[in-house]
Homo-oligomer: A and B are copies of this chain.
Amino acid sequence: MSRLLRRRAIELSDSGHALAKRMAALGYRVTQPRLAVLDAATALSASFTAAELEHWLVTQQRSPGTASIFRTLKLLVEAGMLERIHGVDECHRYTLSAGHGHRVVCLECGALANFEQCALDGLVASLEQATGYRISQHLLEFFGRCPACQRGGVAA
């Protein structure tokens, strides 16, 4: 591929992607499928499943196929650019990584709000004392209805 073409290929999907630069900085090759998945993750904005992401890419006629999507999702999670999140009954959802923090997830539309504060330190300490466990990780997520869905008025 000529220098010119390569440059065009990258610009094609480079709409706003500091993300792509970050991938390159981490030593990952910046390829079309990876850019497509990052675009999709950005466009979907809230949380999404692999299937939802694939559907979006198909409608955009940019889907690299299921296998590549799964491989890319796994890679991006390892790279820290996406996070896997858990629902009450649903697992295997993803969201663009937003620094460290936890989330409030809308049960109706999947919208997310992030927050930094994690007032668990005290609880962790007292639990370690009470149980004898050495606690190294935690999972904390909140669920409810986002402001828009509350206005929307559909009964929960």
Contacts and interface: CB of A to CB of B under 8 A. Distances in A.
Contact of A146 (B132, B140, B146): B132
On chain A, which size bracket covers the interface?
35 or more
A124 B142 CA distance: 8
A92 to B, nearest CB: 7
26 contacts: A86-B86, A86-B91, A88-B137, A104-B127, A104-B131, A104-B133, A113-B127, A119-B119, A124-B142, A127-B142, A131-B146, A131-B147, A132-B146, A133-B142, A135-B142, A135-B143, A135-B144, A137-B143, A137-B144, A138-B140, A138-B142, A138-B143, A139-B139, A139-B140, A139-B141, A139-B142
A116 to B, nearest CB: 10
A144 B131 CA distance: 11
Nearest to A135: B144
